[in-house]
């Protein structure tokens, strides 16, 4: 059952409540509905978490938490899914975003060499930035929608399968 698997992998809600960056949400974190695992809250959490995983900002977790609170998604899962883009996967994912942006905008692909400094980032905003940001937006929306419907369908399938197997026990 997906619920047991997700519950085992989720961080403890007390750990999230004590996170220094999430304290800005105050008593909103004490809403019990943010911690329950059901088909709807998990599907929404996947949508929120996957969306913000593709948004290139340094405070993805806070944005994900804020939207999860608004839409009543499972908070720990929304926050955890943002970490799909981590320092190991980020170059590959963001390069894919750039390629999607190039394709969507129908602009030629530009050669660039990444440099880890602020000046390179500022200079790149005018050259590869538009394609990169459009690609991030497109992949964020696609991943969000796919994540929602795949998890919702999978959860429903597993529930129906479990109900059908009950009479045989």
- The pLDDT, as a whole number, for residue 13 is 65
> What is the pTM assigned to this prediction?
0.79
Q: Please name the residue that has the structure tokens 């944005």.
A: 63
pLDDT digits (tens, 9 = 90+) for 96-128: 999 999 999 999 888 877 666 677 777 777 888
């Amino acid at each position: 059952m997906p619920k047991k698997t997700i519950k085992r992998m989720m961080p403890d809600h007390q750990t999230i409540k004590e996170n220094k960056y999430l304290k800005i949400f105050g008593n909103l974190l004490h809403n019990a509905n943010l911690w329950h695992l059901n088909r709807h809250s998990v599907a929404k959490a996947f949508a929120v978490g996957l969306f913000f995983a593709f948004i290139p900002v340094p405070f993805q977790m806070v944005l994900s938490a804020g939207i999860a609170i608004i839409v009543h998604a499972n908070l720990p899962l929304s926050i955890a899914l943002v970490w799909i883009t981590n320092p190991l996967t980020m170059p590959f994912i963001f390069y894919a975003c750039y390629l999607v942006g190039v394709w969507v905008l129908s602009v030629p692909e530009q050669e660039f060499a990444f440099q880890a400094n602020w000046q390179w980032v500022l200079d790149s905003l005018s050259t590869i930035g538009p394609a990169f940001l459009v690609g991030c937006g497109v992949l964020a929306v696609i991943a969000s929608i796919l994540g929602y419907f795949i998890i919702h369908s999978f959860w429903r399938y597993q529930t129906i399968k479990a109900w059908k197997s009950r009479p045989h026990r």
